[in-house]
Structures are given as C-alpha cells and as structure tokens.
Amino acid sequence: MRALRRTALYSTMDGGMTGLLGKKIGMTSIFDDSGQVIPCTVIEAGPCFVTQVKTNDRDGYTAVQLGFGEKRERLVTSPLRGHFAKANVKPMRILREFRSVGGAEMQPGQEIRVDTVFAKGDVVSVIGTSKGHGFQGVVKRHHFGGGFRTHGQSDRERAPGSIGSSSYPSRVLKGMRMAGRMGGTRITVSNLRVVGVIADSNLLLVKGSVPGAVNGYLEIHKVKA
C-alpha cells in the first residue's frame, strides 16, 4: 500500500496512542494568562479511525494503523477497499502507522479524537511536507549574496560563482550548494508545545509554525516528557 508509511517510535507513559494524523488549517495568535501574544498553528487533528492493529506475535512489532480524511470509494484500489471493509471504516485518504505499547487494546474501526491523545501543555513533534518551489537558483535556495554589478559582470548578479577547484582536484566536490529543486521534502519540527485543544472541532493549537502549506497533511507525535 503506497499510502502507508511507518513512523518513528514515540512512546507515552501510559502506553496509549502516541499521535494522530491531521491537516494544517492556518496560523493565528492567542494570548496567554500574562497577556503575551503566542503565534500558533491551527491543526485539524482527527478524528482518526483505526484501520489495522499489528501485534508482536503476528507482525513482529506492535503498532496501530490510523486513517484520516475520507476518500471517494471509486478512487480507491480494490485491495485497499477490502482493507477498509475489513476494518468497517470508510475509505481513508492517508494511512500511517504509530508504534504504541498499548496497541493490542485498540480495535479496528475505533474512532480516536484529539482530546483522547493530546492535552494543553504536551510537547509534540510535527511531520509534514514542505512547500514545493520548483527549480530555484542559489540566491533563493541557499541565500547566496550574488556577485558585484560592477567590474564588467553586470550579468552575474545571481550567479553562484566558482563551483570547482583548479588543477586539483579538478572536479566539483560532492555536496556543493548549487541551483536545483527546492522544497517538497519531508520535514520534522520537534519540541512544539500544545497551547490549546478544542475538542468539539477536533482542533489542536501548537505554538509556532509547522511544515507545509494550508490543507497539507501532518503527523503529530507526542514526545515523552
């Protein structure tokens, strides 16, 4: 199943679920008790549904596979359609596995909401796909300063300059910062604090920014304190 990706292990003290799937709604600001402004990201975290429970005896490890976001049935392949039917859930847009000590306690088809996993004050890691910018030059991609406009090089303002050595080693060294594809990669931002949980709307407020564009899908992992 191409939609499935195994995630890292973030254990919790009580052995319950270690995270949820969600969607980035946007950014806003709130005020804390002392009147300080806190910039935060609003995430629609869940509801997620358990689509499969993996155990040590059968699969060699313990994990819970979660699905998030409904998908039209005609767009789902036959194997995945049977997978969802076995769990008695509607076709889900994305699937991810979360390692959990208490995975055997979960049941396929079980609904997991944001307030059952997260609470105000929790520390989380958020994984998402960064915004894609296509092919970009070194000034935008690596923040190069560019060349001088004078001394006969008016057409070299955004050029990278020399990229290689002279007679030795006579090649471009591996890892040289050059123009190329920018963004669209898997990014993890760690140690973000939950500043609010709105259970009625399944919204999670996280201090700071998270990777990706609005409506991008995210993995939110609880970090053990």
Query: How far from chain centre, in Å, is Cα 40?
Result: 16
Read off the pLDDT band of 104 (50, 70, 90): low
**First-to-last C-alpha distance (Å) of the chain:** 33
Does residue 6 surpass a pLDDT of 50?
no
Query: How far from chain centre, in Å, is Cα 170?
Result: 41
Give residue-wise pLDDT tens across range 202-221. Answer: 999 999 999 999 999 999 99
Tell me the domain boundaries of the chain.
Answer: 4-133+181-222
Read off the pLDDT band of 225 (50, 70, 90): low
CA–CA separation, 208 vs 89, rounded Å?
Answer: 34
Given a contact cutoff of 8 angstroms between Cβ atoms, the answer to whether 96 and 64 are in contact is no
Given a contact cutoff of 8 angstroms between Cβ atoms, the answer to whether 20 and 220 are in contact is yes
Does residue 8 surpass a pLDDT of 60?
no
Read off the pLDDT band of 7 (50, 70, 90): very low
Read off the pLDDT band of 12 (50, 70, 90): very low
- Retrieve residue 155's tokens: 């057409």
Read off the pLDDT band of 15 (50, 70, 90): very low
Q: For the domain covering 4-133+181-222, report its CATH number.
A: 2.40.30.10
Give residue-wise pLDDT tens across range 131-187. Answer: 999 999 999 999 998 888 777 777 888 988 888 888 888 889 999 999 999 999 999
Secondary structure letter of residue 150 according to DSSP: -
Does residue 43 surpass a pLDDT of 70?
yes
Give residue 213's pLDDT.
92
